[in-house]
């Protein structure tokens, strides 16, 4: 039963809204509220609809350290779906911000530890419908707010190529597990680059589709206009397979509107003959960030596209350099409003709300705020200040500028099929020491997103493709297309995949089968 506020509580609420209430006012409002509370009591008696759990499963387990050398698994399990389908024989790791009924979900943070979802996310059901096997939950960064792999409360995820370095984030475990051969495929999430960054640093393929292509239902959000989820895999074909299984509207996600899917396998081997690829000059040479060897490896990739028959030339989109600033304006205030103050679900949208997640996270967040990561603390402190002081004008301006940024890319994509640039300006960075100062922890979490985050802002599909090694560390090239052009990106990635004269698999990687 919902309790009425006390007179003191009502006065505190009124003060937060700058309302002056007399004692008589307080008594009057309390009496009026009593009638409204009857509706809340009735809501407690009604059973809300929930997605069906279609496939039985038994409990999983936390792996022992010797079974988890990269610290990339959060939970191990074996959930099998339909007997035959598109993903038959494929083992799929699920990022731990995604609900899997009966398996603990931590989302990288101790404030959520102990929560067990009672339903499957839409994409989990679709993977099982396609005969994929869910083989476990992959560690992700704390509330997924890091491009490095050092913020999860279960400890850092280690790069399989060099265990002293970051695997990238926030889908850190997903990329590391694919790269090390623990599974063929994994689900990642992407609000600022969190599929493509770890894919680049671990030497695997990661695709962030068009905003809304893959339903986000049952996944812990950060910001509705930035939220994406999608595939990470060791081959282009496996990316296409997994995308084919999970893409399309589910009727429960407000991010989805007039979604256009395609047969991602039909023309996968069509090649790039006649395709026009624009090498985005502003993606190279970031002052203080770009490493010359990374830029050169990606430029060499552009030359290979020319050898494959594509028409390759340099293009310029000056506003790309402002994408990081537009992203900050949206992400900081938007994440504070939804991920923090809105307890991950927020309000004012239609679809399926995971109410148990909302409640569990709210209790943990409010009682264990000091356990939040440094990146989350920085975001919520800055976001609340900007909201209180500037009343959302910068969030609104950034969202308006997002249209201008999209128009700038569109002007180039009218003449070119795809854009090409480094996924990340630098190679995988060293993991911070456990006692590293806050400044280093935050820098290592956010310094790498400059090329990836603008395409979350505009919602365009982009894919990190392994294109070479430098100092035995992988380098990724990012292919970007217009809305709903995932098939074109995959076709180009597949053509480039056939030119590889190196292996991005780390020494000791095993077969997922």
pLDDT digits (tens, 9 = 90+) for 381-394: 999 999 999 999 99
pLDDT of residue 414: 98
Residue 58 lies in a domain: no
Mean pLDDT over 186-209 rounds to 98
Q: How many other CB atoms sit within 10 Å of the CB of residue 81?
A: 23
Q: Which residues contact 248 (CB under 8 A, 6 or more apart)?
A: 213, 215, 259, 261
Residues 287 and 415 in one domain: yes
pLDDT of residue 66: 96
> Sorting pLDDT into bands at 50, 70 and 90, what band is 507?
confident
Q: Which residues contact 96 (CB under 8 A, 6 or more apart)?
A: 74, 75, 105, 106, 107, 108, 137, 138, 139, 140, 173
Mean pLDDT over 470-476 rounds to 97
Residues 38 and 69 in one domain: no
pLDDT of residue 513: 57
Residue with tokens 């790269």: 179
Of 194, 290, 373, 464, the active-site residue reads 194
Residues 28 and 132 in one domain: no
Q: Within a 13 Å sphere around the CA of 33, how many CA atoms are in the beta-carbon half?
A: 13
Of 142, 146, 149, 170, the active-site residue reads 170
Residues 250 and 151 in one domain: yes
> Sorting pLDDT into bands at 50, 70 and 90, what band is 510?
confident
> Sorting pLDDT into bands at 50, 70 and 90, what band is 503?
low
The first and second tokens of residue 145, run together, are 């707010």
Q: Which of 98, 176, 81 is nearest to 506 (CA)?
A: 176
pLDDT of residue 509: 80
311-315 and 228-233 strand pairing: unpaired
Residue 159 lies in a domain: yes
Residues 76 and 36 in one domain: no
Residues 418 and 283 in one domain: yes
Q: By three-state DSSP, how is residue 244 classified?
A: helix
Q: Does the pLDDT value for residue 332 go beyond 90?
A: yes
The rounded distance, in Å, linking the Cα atoms of 320 and 453 is 10
Residue 508 lies in a domain: no
Residue with tokens 């560690």: 139
Q: Does the pLDDT value for residue 512 go beyond 90?
A: no
> Sorting pLDDT into bands at 50, 70 and 90, what band is 194?
very high
Mean pLDDT over 494-511 rounds to 80
488 has catalytic annotation = no
Residue 30 lies in a domain: yes
| pLDDT tens for each residue of 405-451 | 999 999 999 999 999 999 999 999 999 999 999 999 999 999 999 99
The first and second tokens of residue 407, run together, are 């128009």
Is the dihedral angle over the CA atoms 388, 402, 216, 114 positive or is it negative?
A: negative
| pLDDT tens for each residue of 267-326 | 999 999 999 999 999 999 999 999 999 999 999 999 999 999 999 999 999 999 999 999
DSSP 97-147: TB--TTS---TT-GGGTT---SS--HHHHHHHHTT-EEEEEEP--GGG--S
Residue 502 lies in a domain: no
Residue 392 lies in a domain: yes
95 has catalytic annotation = yes
Q: Is 172:198 a contact under the CB 8 Å cutoff?
A: yes
Q: Does the pLDDT value for residue 502 go beyond 90?
A: no
Of 90, 91, 95, 208, the active-site residue reads 95
pLDDT of residue 234: 97
Mean pLDDT over 170-189 rounds to 98
Mean pLDDT for all residues in the chain: 96
Q: Is 119:113 a contact under the CB 8 Å cutoff?
A: no
Q: Is 101:118 a contact under the CB 8 Å cutoff?
A: yes
Q: Does the pLDDT value for residue 456 go beyond 70?
A: yes
Q: Is 449:208 a contact under the CB 8 Å cutoff?
A: no
Residues 137 and 22 in one domain: no
Mean pLDDT over 102-121 rounds to 97
The first and second tokens of residue 393, run together, are 């004008």
Stated pTM of the model: 0.96
Mean pLDDT over 49-70 rounds to 93
Q: Does the pLDDT value for residue 232 go beyond 90?
A: yes
Q: By three-state DSSP, how is residue 232 classified?
A: strand
Crossing angle of helices 292-307 and 486-497, rounded to 10°:
90
Q: Does the pLDDT value for residue 378 go beyond 90?
A: yes
Residues 387 and 453 in one domain: yes
User: Tell me, what CATH number does 486's domain have?
Assistant: 3.90.1300.10
Residues 236 and 266 in one domain: yes
Q: By three-state DSSP, how is residue 20 classified?
A: coil
Q: Which of 144, 83, 198, 79 is nearest to 331 (CA)?
A: 144
pLDDT of residue 508: 73
Residue 56 lies in a domain: no
| pLDDT tens for each residue of 154-164 | 999 999 999 99
Q: By three-state DSSP, how is residue 185 classified?
A: strand
Q: Classify residue 61 by its DSSP letter.
A: B
pLDDT of residue 453: 98
356 has catalytic annotation = no
Residues 29 and 147 in one domain: no
Residue 314 lies in a domain: yes
Residues 98 and 32 in one domain: no
Q: What are the contacts of 51-58 at 24+ separation with CB within 8 A?
A: 51/119, 51/120, 51/122, 51/125, 51/217, 51/218, 51/252, 51/352, 52/125, 53/101, 53/119, 53/120, 54/81, 54/120, 54/125, 54/128, 54/129, 55/79, 55/80, 55/81, 55/128, 57/101, 57/102, 57/103
Total tally of structural domains belonging to the chain: 2
Residues 17 and 89 in one domain: no
What is the domain range of residue 25?
7-45
pLDDT of residue 500: 79
pLDDT of residue 75: 98
């Amino acid at each position: 039963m919902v309790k009425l506020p006390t007179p003191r509580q009502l006065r505190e609420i009124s003060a937060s809204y700058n309302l002056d209430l007399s004692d008589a006012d307080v008594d009057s409002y309390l009496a009026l509220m009593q009638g409204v509370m009857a509706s809340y009591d009735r809501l407690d008696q009604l059973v809300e609809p929930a997605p069906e759990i279609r496939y039985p499963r038994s409990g999983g387990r936390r792996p022992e350290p010797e079974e988890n050398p990269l610290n990339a698994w959060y939970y191990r399990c074996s959930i099998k779906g339909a007997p035959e389908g598109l993903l038959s024989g494929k083992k799929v790791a699920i990022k731990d911000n995604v609900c899997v009924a009966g398996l603990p979900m931590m989302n990288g943070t101790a404030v959520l530890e102990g929560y067990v979802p009672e339903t499957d996310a839409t994409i989990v059901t679709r993977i099982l419908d396609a005969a994929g096997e869910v083989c476990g939950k992959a560690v992700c960064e704390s509330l997924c707010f890091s491009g490095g792999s050092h913020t999860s409360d279960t400890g850092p995820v280690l790069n399989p190529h060099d265990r002293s370095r970051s695997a990238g984030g926030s889908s850190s475990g997903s990329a590391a597990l694919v790269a090390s051969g623990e599974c063929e495929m994994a689900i990642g999430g992407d609000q600022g680059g969190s599929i493509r960054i770890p894919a680049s640093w671990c030497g695997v393929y990661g695709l962030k589709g068009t905003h809304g292509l893959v339903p986000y239902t049952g996944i812990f959000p950060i910001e509705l206009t930035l939220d994406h989820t999608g595939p990470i895999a060791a081959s282009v074909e496996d990316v296409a397979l997994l995308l084919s299984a999970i893409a399309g509207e589910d009727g429960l996600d407000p991010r989805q509107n007039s979604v256009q899917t395609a047969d991602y396998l039909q023309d996968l081997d069509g090649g790039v003959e006649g395709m026009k690829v624009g090498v985005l000059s502003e993606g190279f040479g970031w002052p203080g960030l770009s490493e010359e060897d990374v830029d050169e490896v990606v430029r060499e990739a552009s030359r290979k596209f020319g050898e494959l028959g594509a028409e390759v030339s340099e293009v310029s989109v000056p506003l790309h350099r402002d994408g990081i600033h537009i992203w900050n304006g949206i992400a900081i205030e938007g994440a504070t409003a939804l991920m923090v103050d809105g307890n991950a679900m927020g309000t004012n949208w239609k679809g399926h709300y995971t109410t148990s997640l909302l409640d569990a996270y709210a209790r943990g967040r409010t009682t264990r705020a000091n356990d939040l990561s440094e990146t989350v603390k920085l975001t919520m402190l800055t976001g609340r200040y900007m909201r209180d002081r500037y009343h959302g004008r910068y969030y609104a301006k950034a969202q308006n500028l997002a249209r201008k940024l999209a128009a700038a890319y569109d002007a180039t994509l009218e003449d070119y099929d795809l854009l090409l640039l480094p996924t990340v300006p630098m190679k995988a960075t060293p993991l911070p020491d456990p006692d590293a100062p806050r400044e280093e922890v935050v820098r290592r979490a956010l310094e790498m997103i400059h090329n990836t985050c603008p395409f979350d802002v505009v919602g365009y599909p982009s894919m990190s493709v392994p294109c070479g090694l430098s100092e035995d560390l992988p380098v990724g090239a990012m292919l970007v297309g217009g809305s709903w052009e995932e098939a074109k990106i995959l076709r180009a990635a597949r053509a480039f995949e056939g030119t590889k004269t190196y292996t991005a698999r780390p020494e000791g990687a095993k077969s997922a089968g």
